[in-house]
Homo-oligomer: A and B are copies of this chain.
């Protein structure tokens, strides 16, 4: 394993956050391997966006991995019978764990990123989680990053030596507006990303789900129009 090359695996969802993480890492000179998941999400456009971003950023590799969390159920992001919440107020957004939480999703995704990294002989993982706007999700908090890092170093060849695994979560303590401002500085075209939980078949965002509300509010606070297409 070479320590001189900065090289790691990034979880790439096709959304705003992970795209910003890739832009930041590339600007810092990292070689990046992208990992996206077909996990049974209703939003199929995510994967198309992830592939477009992988190409745009000239990633060293990009793997779309199939892991059907939808078969376990329990989330409105995967279950056709559950509706994604719409038009929630500021106050409602801050309350509890929403139905869009997918049980243990980031744990599963990071475990697979760890498997990918260990297979490649790499010890750096990147994830675009953000505790401020998504603190409802337990697997988007600082305690998750700490616990996963400890696990990675106990569960793999790193337990027997070499550099320890590092989990990079550069957006953890940023607001959505700060994330977008950072990406714009780096020349990221957010028109390539999609955040909506209920895009239509043409890829137009709904404008009313939690993800759209947080995204639109952040662009608005910056006085910039979101370049992603909306249907309303």
State whether A154 touches B159 (Cβ < 8 A).
no
Identify which of A49-57, A102-110, A182-190, A193-201 touches chain B: A102-110
Q: Does A166 contact B (CB under 8 A)?
A: no
| Given contacts A97-B157, A147-B151, A148-B151, A103 and B118 within 8 Å (CB-CB) | yes
**Residues of A contacting B: mostly:** helix
Interface centre among A102, A105, A155 (most CB of B within 10 A): A155
Is A107 within 8 A of B103, CB to CB? no
Contact A138 B157 (CB under 8 A): yes
- Is A82 part of the contact surface with B, judged by Cβ < 8 Å? no
Q: Which 6 A-B pairs give the minimum distances between C-beta atoms? A: A103-B118, A104-B115, A74-B119, A72-B119, A111-B111, A147-B154
Chain B residues within an 8 Å CB radius of A3 = none
Q: Give the shortest distance, in Å, between A149 (CB) and chain B (any CB).
A: 10
The answer to whether B154 touches A104, judged by C-beta atoms less than 8 angstroms apart, is: no
Q: A112 touching B103 by the CB < 8 A rule?
A: no
> Distance (Å) between the CB of A139 and the closest chain B CB?
5
* Residue A71 is within 8 A (CB to CB) of chain B in the complex: yes
Which one of B104, B152, B155, B160 lies within 8 Å of A118 (CB-CB)?
A: B104
In the assembled complex, the CB of A77 is this many whole angstroms from the nearest CB of chain B, namely: 13
Q: Residue A147 contacts which of B68, B101, B150, B157 (CB distance < 8 angstroms)?
A: B150
A154: B residues at CB distance < 8 A: 138, 141, 143-144, 146-147
A-B contact sample (20 more), CB < 8 A, given A63-B71, A73-B119, A141-B154: A65-B68, A69-B115, A72-B115, A72-B116, A96-B160, A97-B160, A103-B118, A104-B111, A104-B155, A107-B115, A107-B155, A108-B114, A108-B115, A139-B155, A139-B156, A143-B154, A143-B159, A146-B154, A147-B153, A150-B150
- A138 and B115 form a contact (CB under 8 A): no
Q: What residues of chain B lie closer than 8 Å to A146, measured between beta carbons?
A: 154
User: Does A222 sit within 8 A of B, measured CB to CB?
Assistant: no
Q: Report chain B residues within 8 Å CB of A104.
A: 111-112, 114-115, 118, 155-156
